[in-house]
Amino acid sequence: MQPLLKIHKLDPRAPLPSYQTEQAAGMDLHAFLPDGEFILAPGRIAMIPTGLSMAVPAGHEAQVRPRSGIASKHGVTLPNSPGTIDADYRGEVIVPLINHGREPFTITNGLRIAQMVIAPVTRVRIEEATSLDGTARGKGGFGSTGA
């Protein structure tokens, strides 16, 4: 059975998330700036409202990810990618954006600013251990398996 994502518009003018193609994994989230636009200066972070709250299905999370178009063309992305919206959060969905580009980026009302993927979550039992099994990699960290 397909999970149900319930969306509540905090303002009737807020656009709902939407899949752009039949096979798309993510649905686009839109900026909700009913009073105009916002200029995101290079090197700055801004919290962009969507005008929506939602009920993510139990056992799932909403992963908020950059849109490849504005990331590759303008350097605008998420500073915490992917961001997670937990199933028990009911506040407004707000998207943090950062401008890594060289030019100011104009965010207008309704602009597709991020994509959201609903994914299952696995919760684990936590057990304290005094040691862990060995592996071929061991404690090798960043770059330890090659370039």
Q: What is the pLDDT of residues 63-106, one digit of tens each?
A: 999 999 999 999 999 999 899 999 999 999 999 999 999 999 99
> What's the pTM value of the predicted model, to 2 decimals?
0.88
Q: Give residue limits of the domains in the chain.
A: 6-120
Q: What is the pLDDT of residues 19-32, one digit of tens each?
A: 999 999 999 999 99
Top-level CATH class of 6-120?
mainly beta
Residue 108 neighbours by CB under 8 Å, 6+ apart: 31, 33, 36, 37
Q: What is the pLDDT of residues 108-130, one digit of tens each?
A: 999 999 999 999 999 999 999 99
| Alpha-carbon distance values, 108 to 3, 35, 43, 48 (Å) | 31, 10, 19, 10
Q: How confident is the model at residue 136 (pLDDT cuts 50, 70, 90)?
A: confident
State the pLDDT at residue 15: 96
DSSP 119: E
